[in-house]
Structure 1
Amino acid sequence: MLNALVTVAAEEEAHNPLIPATYDIIWSAVCFVIIAIVVIAVAIPRLNKVLDARSAAIEGNIEKADEAQRQAEAALAEYTQQLADARREAGEIREGARVDGKKIVDEARANAQAEAERITVSAQTQIEAERQAAMISLRQDVGSIALDLAGNVIGETMSEDAKAQAVVDRFLADLEASEKAAQ
C-alpha cells in the first residue's frame, strides 16, 4: 500500500494545479453554452427592446424640447416686436401730447393777448369818453364860473349873453391849443 500511495503521490506531483481536470472543463463549457444561449436568445432581445424604447423616448423628448425651444424663441421674438411697437407708439403719443400741449398754450396765450387788447381798447375808449364828458362839463362849469366872476367884477349878470358864452369858448379853445403846442 505504501507503494500505491507513493504512486498516487507521484501522479499528483506530475499534475499541474493551474490546469483544471478534463471533466471540469467539459461541464464548465456546457454551462457556458447554456448561459450564452439563454443570454443571446432571451436577455439580449429584451435588453435591445428596452434600449430601443428608451432611445425612442429620449429622441421624442429631445424633439419636444426642440419644439418648445422654437416656440419660446418665436414667443420671445413676438414679445420683443410688441415691446418695440409699444415703445414707438408711446413715443408718438408723447410727441403728439407735447405738440397738442404747445398748441393749447399758444391758443391760450393768443386768446389772452386778444382779450387783453380788447380790454385795453375798451378801457381807452371809455377813458376817452369820460375825458370828453369831463371836458364838456368842465367847459360849462369854468364858463359859468368865469361869467359869474366877470359879472361880479362888472356888477352885471353875464350868464345869459351869447357873446359872453362865445368869449369863454374862444378862451378855452386857445387854452387847449397852447397845451397841445407845449407837448
Structure 2
Amino acid sequence: MNEIIHALGIDWRLIITQILGFLLLLFFLNKVVFTKVFAFLDQRQADIKGTYDQLDADRAAMDRLRGEYEQRLAGIEAEAREKIQAAVKEAQTLRDNLVADAHQQADAILEKGRSDSERERQKAFLEMRQQIVTLAITAAGKVIGESLDPARHTALVDGFIGSVNAGAVIESGRGVSGNSVGDGAGTGTIA
C-alpha cells in the first residue's frame, strides 16, 4: 500500500499539513465568519418570526376591529331603521290629522251650506206666501168687483196658509202653476 501511495505521488506530510491547515481554516471560519453568519441568520430568522407574529397580531386586531365596525354598522342600521319608522309614523299621524281636519272642514262647509239652503228656502217660502196673499187679495177684489179691506183679507189668507202644511204648499207649488194655487186660495177666502 505504501508503494501504491508512493507510486501515485502522495506525500503523508503534505496530507497531514493540508488537514491541519483545513482544520485551522475551519476553526478560523467558525470563530470569525460562521459565528457572524449564523448570528445574522438567527437575527434574520427572529426578524421573520417577529414579522409573522406582528402580522398575526395585526390580523387579530383587524378581525376585532371588523367585528366592532360590523356591530357599529348594525347599530347604525337599526337606529336608522328606527328613525325611518318613527318618521313614517309621524308622517302617517300628520296625514291622519290633515285628513281629519279636512273632513271637519268639509263637514262644516256642508253644514253651513245646509243651513244657508234652509234659510234661503224659508226666505223663499215667506216671499211666496206674501205673493200668494197679495194675489189672493187682488183676485178676490176682482171677483167681487169692489175693494176689500186688505187687513181682513190678509188675516184670512194667512190663516188659510198657516193651516196648510208648509211642506205640502212648497211641494204642491213645485208641481202646480201659481194660478191654480192662487185660485184655490181665492176661492177658500171668498167662501
TM-score (norm 2): 0.77
- Please, which of 84, 109, 112 is the counterpart of residue 102 of structure 2? 112
Shift in Å, 1:178: 7.7
Q: Which amino acid aligns with 2:126?
A: I
Question: Pairwise mapping of residues 1-183 of structure 1 onto structure 2 (< 5 A)?
Answer: 14-15=3-4, 20-158=10-148, 160-176=149-165, 179=168
Distance 1:82 1:147, change over 3 A: same
5+ long unaligned stretches in structure 1: 1-11
Whether the aligned pair in 1 keeps the contact of 2:137 and 2:150 (CA below 8 Å) is no
Distance 1:177 1:138, change over 3 A: closer
Q: SS of the counterpart of 2:146?
A: coil
Say which one has the larger Rg: 1
Distance 1:177 1:142 in 2: 13
Runs of at least 4 residues off by over 3 Å: 16-21
Shift in Å, 1:123: 1.0
5+ long unaligned stretches in structure 2: 172-191
TM-score (norm 1): 0.80
Q: SS of the counterpart of 1:60?
A: helix
Show CA shifts across 1:5-34 (max 9, x none). Answer: xxxxxxx9x525679432332222122222
Distance 2:167 2:125 in 1: 16
Report how many residues are paired: 169
Q: Which amino acid aligns with 2:84?
A: R
Shift in Å, 1:170: 2.4
